[in-house]
Amino acid sequence: MEKDIVIIGGGLTGLSTAINLKKKGFNIIVLEKTDRLGGQIQTFHENDFVFESGPNTGSGASEEVLNLFDELSTECKIEFAKKESEKRLIWKNEKFHPLPNGLWSGITTPLFRFSDKLHILGEPWRAKGNNPNETVAELTTRRLGKSFVDYAVDPFLSGIYAGDATALITRHALPKLYNLEQDYGSFIGGAIKKVQKDKNQNKSQSKKGIFSTNGGMENLIKAMIKYIGKENIMLSCENIATKPNTDDGTWKTSFKQNNQEIELTSKHLITTVGSYVLPEILKFIEIDKINKITNLRYAPIVQIAVGVKDTGNLKFNAFGGLISSKDNEDFLGILFPSSCFEGRSPNNGALFSFFMGGIKNAALTELSDYEIEEKVVKTFHRMLGFPASKEPDLIRIFRHKHAIPQYEISSEDRFNTVKKLEKSYQGLHIAGNLRDGIGMAHRIIQGAKLAEEIK
Ligand SMILES: Cc1cc2nc3c(=O)[nH]c(=O)nc-3n(C[C@H](O)[C@H](O)[C@H](O)COP(=O)(O)OP(=O)(O)OC[C@H]3O[C@@H](n4cnc5c(N)ncnc54)[C@H](O)[C@@H]3O)c2cc1C
């Protein structure tokens, strides 16, 4: 079989790339190892609860995200989170407290030390850093103060990276934050100037909202599959391996499907799998080069969907609650998806997503289902405030060994190695979340940009 482009991996990156390439008229094929598409994205429906095993929300609905939903508008609809989602909670001293969003709440919040509240007033005048490899903890301690790192930055990073603020490199992990300081000299001043600049350029603020898909994230995947066409997708492809054909500049991709050996020839080869999968697919690359990509660390996460049919008097009008690693709790945080999106729980009920593990507490992801359930029920009472007589009506556990790649000190070497390999092997594109960002919006943007680059 001959194709213009072979795409390996049928997660959000692979499907987004496929849609954009198909739109440009390329003859593509997506090869997926498992018997389903969507990768980390999967939605479940059970007893009037709609819950995700992977991502619950995408943040920053960029132009590319909106374009994708526009293209698929007859099959699925983007759903922006309700106003309540702007409220974020942080656990401290046996209670969830709202993250301040104004001057008064900033002064009165018990989350930060008084000395740090005074210190932050001087943030706009603090000197700009000059270490490009400053970690998020170093940069934010310098500009904001230790208690802001403990009760804002650390839980925020748990929510996004399940990572370690002392290891994530700001310019790779949070480039927007890094650039605020570099471009404007200050987080506060920079954020104000940026809002003003966006307003002047008529950029809609709503584009920056939190999004999901009506009825669950997997509806986006189903719509993407329909657009790409089942004839351009192959599932259950075993032992995929590729090699460049130096004689004519094409790629040979071989694999097994239903016990049949298949070989494809293509002009371009795009990988969208995790870094740990690359050695088996790109066997022709020298070990010292591939090691610079495979040394990427991934945070393991267990996500637990917890449903309650009737919350009684309890209200959960917020995006969710995050927990500082300083507090040594069992969970990274608890999201409230039913407060953000329609139809995720029965009318008087609620759906929660508990997160456990991450880089700092990887051992917790090895606990048995029974042990995890015990911790969930204890926390359901203690942190969410349900009475002892009340039990969750639904508990489902999802384990992700390679949940979130960590953009740590190895990142620059990895990005450069990818660029060098792509230059050495014409037609090779190493994509996926090992570069260009870890979130869903990043994956959609990468697919769109990659399609632009391919001639
Ligand atoms: C628990 C959890 C919560 C998350 N929460 C959020 C969130 O709130 N917001 C957000 O923006 N992002 C979140 N993310 C990240 C988001 O899910 C990812 O950015 C995105 O789904 C990654 O898509 P991908 O296609 O790059 O990778 P994947 O989804 O991992 O897809 C890779 C695909 O490649 C396939 N594959 C693997 N090996 C092979 C092989 N040898 N041959 C062929 N195919 C192969 C896999 O089966 C898979 O289908 C979360 C992730 C997890 C795990």
Determine the Cα–Cα distance for residues 143 and 349; give it in Å rounded to an integer: 42
Is the model's pLDDT at 60 over the cut of 90? no
**pTM of this structure:** 0.96
Instruction: Report the distance separating Cα 174 and Cα 374, nearest Å.
Output: 35
* pLDDT score at 171: 97
**CATH 1.10.3110.10, the chain: domain bounds:** 112-201
Condensed to tens digits (0 to 9), the pLDDT of residues 361-383 reads 999 999 999 999 999 999 999 99
Task: Answer whether 446's CB lies under 8 Å from 436's CB.
Answer: yes
Read off the tokens for 244. 């460049």
Bridge partners, residue 263, by sequence? 254
For 49, the token pair is: 């609860």
DSSP states along 109-148: -SSS-HHHHHHHHTGGGSPPP--TT-BHHHHHHHHH-HHH
SS3 368: coil
CATH architecture entry for 298-405: Alpha-Beta Complex (3.90)
Beta bridge partners of 51: 44
CATH of domain 112-201: 1.10.3110.10
Is any ligand 1 atom within 6 A of the Cβ of residue 400? yes
For residue 159, the ligand 1 atom closest to its alpha carbon is 8
Residue to substitute in 41, 273, 276, 429 for testing ligand 1 pocket (most ligand atoms within 8 angstroms of CB)? 273
Q: Can you name the residues that pair with 97 across neighbouring β-strands?
A: 90
C-alpha to C-alpha distance for 6 and 11, rounded to whole angstroms: 14
The tokens describing 403, both together, are: 């949940």
Overall average pLDDT of the 264-269 stretch: 97
> What is the average pLDDT across 188-208?
72
Structure tokens at 53: 């095993």
The CATH 3.90.660.20 domain(s) of the chain lie at: 298-405
Cα 131 to chain centroid distance, Å, stands at: 27
Q: How confident is the model at residue 206 (pLDDT cuts 50, 70, 90)?
A: very low
Q: pLDDT tens-digit profile of 87-134?
A: 999 999 999 999 998 878 888 999 999 998 988 888 888 999 999 999
Ligand 1 atom closest to the CA of 301, numbered from 1: 1
Residue 79, φ and ψ in degrees, nearest 5? -125, 115
pLDDT above 90 (res 321): yes
CA-nearest residue for atom 48, ligand 1, is 39
| CA–CA separation, 288 and 268 (whole Å) | 24
Q: What is the pLDDT of residues 215-243, one digit of tens each?
A: 999 999 999 999 999 999 999 999 999 99
User: Which segments of the chain belong to CATH 3.50.50.60?
Assistant: 2-40+66-74+217-296+407-453
Atom of ligand 1 nearest to the CA of 281: 41
Find the 387 Cα to ligand 1 centroid distance in Å: 37
If pLDDT is split at 50, 70 and 90, which confidence band does 404 have? very high
Hey, what CATH class is 2-40+66-74+217-296+407-453 in?
Answer: alpha beta
